[in-house]
């Protein structure tokens, strides 16, 4: 027996009705994201901009960043940024070498090393020349585009086109929001960020596909059930799974954020946000968007792969919702029509009767 039973075994939340709030919310979020990209831009790391990054550790109890800044500014090597990195002993020095040649960058490293002298030990040096950074930008963009295309192709092959489009829109939404975090907090955007974005893409899709799988199965079973009701049933059926997996994955990113070291902090933060937004979007974007993409029960062709009882249609749905309604119905905040009050078991004929708000 489970020790704790805090995950409601079966929920009956009217997610589809909430789309009148969540769609505008997601739209505004994406818009804010685009505005942020346009105004704040990204704090491009040296991978994409070229330049030099040096991590150093002082032998003293704490690094004197002020003095270091003074010395490094005297070098006249262009834009120098110095920041504490993880602990007071560690500093991260960034020399943005916009347009500097490869040779000039090597000269900069030597100069900075001289300034650091014996007091600091250099723990990490990264230099990316202008030609390489340009290639990395192209490669990364290509990776993201190819990723999206591959997924689209697979989903199209495996599902109907509405699902493929829905998954892509959802994924784009998640990527926008994650990018917004990078932009808003000025996190270094580098190759690791591309890895983070592709991972979030994979995670968000994984989440979405599990729900889509259930929706497709429901479509085959209950051919006459209005789509919004059907989607509600499918999302509720997968809801506990969605929450549980999001929680464990969130735990992993949390552990990475706090214990994984300074280098991975940006990556972990992005992943953390990605997990949360990926879960939100699965429920509130991926599923309801199918209504607007014109998915109909009839669209899903093919035989019901379930046993004969599966093709029962309306009666079966009614039976199912009866079981649902027996469970306490969770009221969700701003739902306008609180049709189903707490624990009122009037669900017997509810799903078929509920008007489709398409």
Partner 1 sequence: MLHFSRLKTTAILLTIAVGLLFALPNVLPQSALAYLPTWLASSRVTLGLDLQGGSHILLEVDGAALRKERTEQVRDEVRRVLRDQKIGYSNLAVRDTTVSLRLRDAADTQKAVTELRKLAAPVTNALFGNSSGEMDLLVSSGSDGAVTVQLTDAGLTARMRSAVDQSIEIIRRRIDQLGTVEPNIQRQGIDRILVQVPGLQDPQRLKNLLGQTAKLSFRMVDQSMSPQQALEGRPPPESEVLQGQDGQPYLVEKQVRVSGEDLVDAQPGFDQNSREPIVSFRFNNNGARRFAATTQDAVGRPFAIVLDNQVISAPVIREPILGGSGQISGSFTVQQANDLAILLRAGALPAPLKVVEERTVGPSLGADSINAGKTAAYVAGGLVAVFMIGVYGLFGLFALVALVVHIILMFSLQSVLGATLTLPGIAGVVLTIGMAVDSNVVIFERMRDEAREGRSAISAIDKGFVNALGTILDANITALATAVILFLMGGSGPVRGFAVTYILGLLTTMFTAYTLTRLMIAYWVKWRRPAKLPI
Q: Are 31 and 175 in contact (CB under 8 A)?
A: no
Q: Indicate which single residue of 21, 42, 154, 161 sits in contact with partner 1 (rule: CB under 8 A).
A: 154
Q: Indicate which single residue of 20, 30, 65, 102 sits in contact with partner 1 (rule: CB under 8 A).
A: 102
Q: Does 314 help bind partner 1 (rule: CB under 8 A)?
A: no
Q: Does 1 help bind partner 1 (rule: CB under 8 A)?
A: yes
Positive or negative, the CA dihedral 306, 309, 310, 311 is positive
Q: Indicate which single residue of 147, 226, 288, 351 sits in contact with partner 1 (rule: CB under 8 A).
A: 147
Q: Does 241 help bind partner 1 (rule: CB under 8 A)?
A: yes
Q: Does 106 help bind partner 1 (rule: CB under 8 A)?
A: yes
Quote the tokens at residue 184. Answer: 């808003």
Positive or negative, the CA dihedral 250, 183, 202, 286 is positive
* Complex with partner 1: residue 77 or 201, whichever CB lies closer: 201
Q: Does 214 help bind partner 1 (rule: CB under 8 A)?
A: yes
Q: Does 202 help bind partner 1 (rule: CB under 8 A)?
A: yes
Q: Does 276 help bind partner 1 (rule: CB under 8 A)?
A: no
* Complex with partner 1: residue 94 or 214, whichever CB lies closer: 214
Instruction: Pick the stretch among 13-21, 74-82, 97-105, 277-285 that binds partner 1 (CB under 8 A).
Output: 97-105
Q: Indicate which single residue of 251, 296, 344, 349 sits in contact with partner 1 (rule: CB under 8 A).
A: 251
HSE toward the beta carbon, residue 237, CA cutoff 13 A: 19
Report the site for partner 1 in 33-92 (rule: CB under 8 A). 55, 57
Instruction: Pick the stretch among 14-22, 194-202, 293-301, 336-344 that binds partner 1 (CB under 8 A).
Output: 194-202
Q: Are 290 and 283 in contact (CB under 8 A)?
A: no
Q: Does 301 help bind partner 1 (rule: CB under 8 A)?
A: no
Shortest distance (Å) from residue 110 CB to partner 1: 7
Q: Does 279 help bind partner 1 (rule: CB under 8 A)?
A: no
The Cα–Cα gap between 261 and 292 comes to 44
Residue 51 φ/ψ, nearest 5 degrees: 135, -170
* Complex with partner 1: residue 246 or 340, whichever CB lies closer: 246
Q: Indicate which single residue of 250, 297, 304, 311 sits in contact with partner 1 (rule: CB under 8 A).
A: 250
Contacts of 304 (CB under 8 A, 6+ apart): 220, 221, 310, 311
Among residues 156, 295, 282, the alpha carbon closest in space to that of 225 is found at 295
Q: Indicate which single residue of 35, 62, 255, 353 sits in contact with partner 1 (rule: CB under 8 A).
A: 255
Shortest distance (Å) from residue 324 CB to partner 1: 10
Q: Does 132 help bind partner 1 (rule: CB under 8 A)?
A: yes
The Cα–Cα gap between 329 and 342 comes to 6
Among residues 240, 206, 208, the alpha carbon closest in space to that of 327 is found at 240
Q: Are 177 and 273 in contact (CB under 8 A)?
A: yes
Q: Are 215 and 290 in contact (CB under 8 A)?
A: yes
H or E element that contains 268? helix 265-281
Q: Does 128 help bind partner 1 (rule: CB under 8 A)?
A: yes
The Cα–Cα gap between 156 and 297 comes to 17
* Complex with partner 1: residue 78 or 134, whichever CB lies closer: 134
């Amino acid at each position: 027996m489970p020790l704790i039973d805090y995950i409601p075994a079966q929920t009956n939340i009217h997610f589809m009705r909430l789309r009148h709030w969540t769609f505008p919310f997601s739209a505004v979020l994406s818009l804010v994201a685009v505005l942020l990209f346009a105004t704040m831009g990204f704090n491009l790391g040296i991978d994409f901009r070229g330049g030099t990054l040096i991590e150093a550790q002082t032998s003293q109890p704490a690094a004197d960043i002020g003095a270091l800044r003074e010395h490094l500014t005297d070098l006249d090597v262009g834009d120098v940024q110095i920041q504490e990195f993880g602990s007071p002993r560690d500093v991260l020095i960034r020399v943005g070498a916009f347009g500097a040649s490869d040779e000039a960058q090597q000269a900069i490293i030597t100069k900075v090393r001289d300034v650091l002298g014996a007091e600091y030990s250099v723990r990490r040096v990264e230099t990316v020349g202008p030609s390489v950074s340009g290639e990395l930008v192209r490669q990364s963009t290509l990776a993201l585009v190819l990723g999206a295309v591959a997924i689209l192709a697979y989903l199209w092959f495996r599902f109907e086109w509405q699902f493929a489009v829905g998954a892509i829109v959802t994924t784009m939404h998640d990527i926008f929001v994650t990018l917004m975090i990078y932009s808003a907090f000025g996190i270094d955007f580098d190759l690791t960020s591309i890895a983070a974005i592709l991972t979030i893409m994979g995670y968000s899709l994984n989440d979405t596909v599990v729900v889509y799988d259930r929706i497709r199965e429901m479509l085959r079973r209950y051919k006459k059930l209005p789509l919004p009701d059907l989607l509600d049933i499918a999302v509720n059926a997968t809801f506990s799974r969605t929450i549980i997996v999001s929680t464990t994955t969130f735990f992993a990113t949390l552990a990475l954020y706090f214990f994984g070291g300074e280098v991975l902090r940006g990556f972990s933060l992005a992943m953390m946000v990605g997990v949360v937004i990926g879960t939100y979007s699965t429920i509130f974007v991926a599923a309801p968007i199918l209504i607007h993409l014109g998915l109909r029960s009839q669209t899903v062709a093919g035989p019901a792969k379930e046993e004969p009882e599966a093709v029962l249609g309306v009666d079966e749905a009614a039976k199912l919702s009866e079981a649902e309604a027996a469970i306490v119905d969770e009221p969700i905040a701003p739902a306008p029509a609180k049709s189903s009050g707490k624990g009122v078991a009037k669900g017997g004929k509810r799903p078929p009767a509920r008007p489709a708000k398409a």
